[in-house]
Amino acid sequence: MVERLYKKGLVIGIIILFIGVGIQPTSANDISISKEITEKNNDSDDWGYGFIFVSATFRRQMERTTWRLRWTVIDCIDLETGKVVMQEKTGMFGFCLFKFLPRGHDYRLIVPSLGGSSWCVIEDMGLFHKVRLHVDEC
């Protein structure tokens, strides 16, 4: 009886592992932008990169419920240059991670939506920031 439960748990765990690895959003564009950033800032000996962890949610005013934004593209714009530095797509649970952003810059994270866009500003980028973006339905 116990052995059957262990076998079922092992099979379910392996299935979840393969599904989790298979549905990670990846794109060649993000990799090239990351390589570009690392090549530009490779002359310093210290680790001058930061990370932004984003949790994106969606609120419906009529129902007063909150949902995770799945598979939504979030833009990261450098406020000094005004250019999109990186784009990431949220995963199944509404999270994404912007990796290897130069520290000391100001960034704006934008989530496009049908009723407008939601955004937040990160001033003087440090090593790690955690951001919650809420998009409201109009």
Q: Beta strands 49-60 and 95-102: pairing type?
A: antiparallel
Q: Is residue 38 in some structural domain?
A: yes
DSSP-derived secondary structure for 30-84:
HHHHHHHHHHHTTT-SS--EEEEEEEEEEEETTTTEEEE--S-EEEEEETTT-SE
Q: Is residue 56 in some structural domain?
A: yes
Q: Is residue 8 in some structural domain?
A: no
Q: Is residue 87 in some structural domain?
A: yes
47, exposed or middle or buried, with CB in 10 Å at 0-12, 13-18, 19+?
exposed
CATH number of the domain to which 89 belongs = 2.60.40.1120
**Residue 129's pLDDT is what?**
87
Q: Is residue 3 in some structural domain?
A: no
**Residue 125's pLDDT is what?**
82
pLDDT digits (tens, 9 = 90+) for 13-58: 888 777 766 665 544 445 455 555 555 555 444 567 889 999 888 8
Range of the domain at 132: 27-136
Q: Is residue 17 in some structural domain?
A: no
Prediction pTM value: 0.60
Q: How sure is the predictor about 60, in pLDDT bands with cuts at 50, 70 and 90?
A: confident
Q: Is residue 11 in some structural domain?
A: no
Q: Is residue 93 in some structural domain?
A: yes
Residue 14, φ and ψ in degrees, nearest 5: -65, -40
**Residue 23's pLDDT is what?**
62
How many domains does one find in the chain?
1
